[in-house]
Amino acid sequence: MPELPEVEVTRLSFKDQIKGALITQVVMGKPLRWPLSCDPQALLGQRVKAVRRRSKYLLIDLDRGLLMLHLGMSGSLRFAKNLGPLGAHDHFELQTDLGALRLHDPRRFGAVVYASSESDPVAQKLLAHLGVEPLEEGFDAPFFSKALRAHTMAIKPLLLSGKVVVGVGNIYASEALFMAGIRPTLSAKKISKPRAERLRLAIREVLSRAVQLGGSSLKDFSNAEGQSGYFQLQTMVYDRQTKPCKQCQTPIKMIRQAQRSTFYCPVCQKR
């Protein structure tokens, strides 16, 4: 599943090219996870003002309203002057005078939803419950420490839940916990302020580095220009079960938490 770094990498790869584009046609394929929530013809003649991100949603600001795009489990976007005919798994295309933005999604868990504004109930349903952005100022030490003390849940599933901070997906949670030296099974409530600060900084560093490396291409992720990411080639613990820890040589362990695989070093992450 594309996580925050992959979504941000996708945004960066086409935001400048599509800015100011005039929408000339909207092509709909098979139904996606949620309906568009407007007549596709209502988008014609509007211009793209900007492309933002909120958690794993791409927000395309228009003259009137915005489009909220989610890549789901297997989605990816392409933006180019000529993308050729739509394939069997291409389910949405926004054609403009500057190029076409196409959503490719074999599993169809992605979505493109229109809302008149971010205060629209359609947008609020998707965005209002989201936690803070990990790479923005609101994700500071006092907030994070206080938020952790309010939860008895194990720290790894809590990070994945998005209740405290958004976008820390499975790969990045495992890597950040390793960097901070925290066992993924430890109750969030038991993490001291100094350790919470180490984890906060680790989350920022891991996500920032992932964006710089183009995200993680575990299966078929690529940005809007078709380029793959390389973060997965530098992981310290993720998907390295039984392999020696790069710091202490102890074999990396894998456990299941909340139906997700968790990877950690039993020595470097004693508690």
Tell me the catalytic residues: 2-3, 56, 260
225: Cβ contacts below 8 Å, ≥ 6 apart: 13, 14, 78, 79, 80
* DSSP assignments along 127-189, one per residue: HTT--B-TTSTTS-HHHHHHHHHT--SBHHHHHHHTSSBS---HHHHHHHHHHHT--TTSBGG
The answer to whether the beta carbons of residues 167 and 133 sit under 8 Å apart is yes
Q: How many CA atoms lie within 13 A of 113 on its CB side?
A: 23
**Run of H or E residues at 13:** helix 4-18
The answer to whether the beta carbons of residues 95 and 81 sit under 8 Å apart is no
Phi, psi of 162 (to 5 degrees): 75, 5
Q: Looking at the chain, how many residues does it have?
A: 271
Phi, psi of 164 (to 5 degrees): -105, -50
Sign of CA pseudo-dihedral 4, 1, 104, 45: negative
